[in-house]
Chains A and B, each alone.
Chain A
Amino acid sequence: MSIIKTENLSKVYNPDTVPVHALNDVNITFEEGEFTAVRGPSGSGKTTLLNMIGGLDKPTEGKVTIDDVDISELKDSKRIDFRLNNIGFVFQHYNLIPVFTARENVSFIMLLQKRDKKEIQERADALLDKVGLAKKKDSRPVQMSGGEQQRVAVARALASEPKFILADEPTANLDTESAMNLLDIMRNMNKEQNVTFIFSTHDQRVIDRARRVITMVDGAIYKDEQQEVSEAQ
């Protein structure tokens, strides 16, 4: 079932001075339960595509539909609310709240959703357990390694029970062991709970694990292919 659909999606930066065509007429759909990597050289438009799909930026032309909602047309406040309840984000620099513990970082998004306190605690603990950080739930980001922080970020992204998770270069700052560990966690979530992941990445380790690989060049889809992924990887 298709959950994300872009139609004639274009983005032009600085249209009045030096126009930069970041996206050119992109038409693409994403199905529920996909584990997709968007690859391409720097400036190819992969991050812009993720920003459009995540409702962080507005297209110059075209639209993004998520579960039949045209998010390009939503007002800023509605779009923020939509993101809260439908989209999970994992950032390259982890972007945890430094004054909060791992558990509080995971709980925070659920507090924004005004969920029941008990449910928040239980879900935060369960998610941290799932990403292998049960013993670190009371640690602050500064007390954790980059890999651990990124695992907290994944737990946070999952906490709001989003329709899909967008991860912008999630392994870019991680060593091989941490990156593989993180990818294992995300793959397991994808397989076991059918969580949809879409990554933008340069990292061959991520690309090798993705079942679908979209290659972008000059703001357009150059290649969109499915690949077999060995479970041993």
Chain B
Amino acid sequence: MKTLLNISWRNIWRHPARSSVLIAAIVAGLWAGVVTVGLVNGLMLQRIDYLIESEVTHAQLHHPEFLAEGYSWLSIPNHDEIKNWLENDDRVKAFSFRTITDGMLQSPVKTSGVRIRGVDIESERRTTTFHENIVEGSYLDDGTSNAVIMGKKLAEDHNMEIGNRVVLTFEDTNNELVSGSFNIVGIFQSASTTYDERNVFVRSDDLISQLSDSPIYHEAGMMLEDEDLASAVVSDLNSSFSGIEAQTWRQLSPELSMLVELGGVMVILITLIIMIALAFGILNTMLMALFERMRELGMLISIGMSRLRVFAMIMTEAVILTITGAAAGMVLAWFTIRQFSTSGVNLEMFAEGAAQLGWDYIIYPVLTPMEFVAILTVVVVITLVASAYPALKGIRINPLEASRNA
């Protein structure tokens, strides 16, 4: 074994430049791959966490037809009983009831279709982090009557500033058009400009007073002690109350759920591409080394080296090359991910485009130990597979090659 390692190690350094280039390629490929996987993971998780924490929450409940139809009279029945149930369930960390209607926002500049969201400031603050998106002015708690906060994009489109007034027009529960003048107290900027363009927030009391004679709510968002409890809580709610439909964030936001799956697929794809490149690199180098050494290998078999030892020698060369490169690549990648997991990778130059898509431009890469081990395992397996062909070719060499002229 020592002899085998000795000869394999020296064979690798027979062409130092070629072996160094291959090791460097493995290091660079693995580093790039692992960091990219970390970034994709981070990007996906950040997007999901952001959407859950600031908008979607772990679970929501509505009138069964509200999400499809959107009429303001499709409100949550028996909301007091539901409130009581949610308050007494240990699994529910926080919840917030919202009054929602679609309407028109009018400014001296133009008119836009918007979704008007009436929120209870206190419970909303406990439930979501949306208030952290305020970039100008304040949330709805500065005491101004008929206060409204709007997205930065919408405010820019309407040339509006803090202190300006807009008119919101919508249908009440009796299908009568009602209008109200609202004072802009804050401007928010979420991760999605589309969202910012289409949503305004008011206090639920202000909205309810114009929408209905009695308190009505169209949506309740719930943050749970653990995301994994969502299915159970939703199931219990649906079985405990009639006339409502509770859904998990995965059901409410299938695109978000798809994002999780897409992230997984992307990680596999990236890994696959890197591994294929790695496999061809190893295959090419080992085949070159083999073809250059046909006479030498023929000599080794002639003088009595078994074909199994020749096979093991070629495989050992490939494994040493890959392990050297892979170890360096993984260590480098681990340090990179560790470094950027706290400071983040700032992609500010793509900030505008990223915001259009609802992505953050500072990405905190994430790689679980399992993924790390999985990538390392795949590298080792790919190496063995890629070097098996040259090694098998090596053991089929005719010993007469030793006598051939160059």
Contacts and interface: CB of A to CB of B under 8 A. Distances in A.
A178 interface: no
Contact of A47 (B3, B300, B307, B403): B403
25 contacts: A47-B403, A51-B400, A51-B403, A54-B302, A56-B403, A77-B306, A77-B307, A80-B304, A84-B304, A85-B304, A89-B302, A89-B303, A91-B402, A91-B403, A93-B295, A95-B402, A97-B7, A97-B300, A98-B296, A108-B3, A108-B7, A109-B303, A111-B3, A112-B303, A156-B303
A91 B299 contact: yes
Contacts of B126: none
A111 B302 CA distance: 15
A80 B10 contact: no
A160 to B, nearest CB: 7
Nearest to A48: B400
A83 interface: yes
Question: Is the interface on chain A under 10, 10 to 19, 20 to 34, or 35 or more residues?
Answer: 20 to 34
Interface string A58-102: 000000000000000000110011011100010111010111100
Given A95-B299, A98-B14, A99-B14, A160 B304 contact: yes
Contacts of B305: 80, 84, 112
Mostly, the B contact residues are: helix
Residue of A47, A56, A160 with highest tally of chain B CB at under 10 A: A56
B304 A109 contact: yes
A168 B302 contact: no
B38 interface: no
Given A89-B402, A91-B299, A95-B299, 7 more contacts: A47-B403, A56-B399, A56-B402, A99-B14, A100-B10, A109-B303, A113-B304
A51 B302 CA distance: 10
Contact of A83 (B296, B302, B307, B405): B302
A57 interface: yes
Interface of A: 47, 51, 54, 56-57, 76-77, 80-81, 83-85, 89, 91-93, 95, 97-100, 108-109, 111-113, 156, 160, 168
A159 to B, nearest CB: 10
A57 B400 contact: yes
Contacts of A111: 3
B233 interface: no
Contacts of A100: 7, 10
Contacts of B10: 99-100
Given A80-B305, A109-B304, A168 B11 contact: no
Contacts of B11: 99
Interface string B285-306: 0000000000110011111111
Contacts of B309: 112
Contacts of B301: 80
A129 B399 CA distance: 29
Q: For the complex of A and B, list the 3 residue pairs with the smallest distance between their C-beta atoms, beginning with the closest.
A: A84-B304, A99-B10, A95-B299
B68 interface: no
B199 to A, nearest CB: 70
A92 B295 CA distance: 12
Question: Is the interface on chain B under 10, 10 to 19, 20 to 34, or 35 or more residues?
Answer: 20 to 34
Contacts of A160: 303-304
Contacts of A156: 303
Interface string B392-406: 000000011011011
Nearest to A114: B3
A54 B10 CA distance: 29
Nearest to B10: A99
A80 B293 CA distance: 19
A94 to B, nearest CB: 9
Contacts of B295: 93, 95
A108 B14 CA distance: 18
A114 to B, nearest CB: 10
Interface in B369-406: 399-400, 402-403, 405-406
Contact of B304 (A47, A81, A98): A81
B299 to A, nearest CB: 4
Nearest to A47: B403
Interface in B1-25: 3, 7, 10-11, 13-14
B384 to A, nearest CB: 23
Contacts of A85: 304
Given A99-B7, A99-B10, A99-B14, A56 B400 contact: yes
A112 B14 CA distance: 22
A80 B403 contact: no
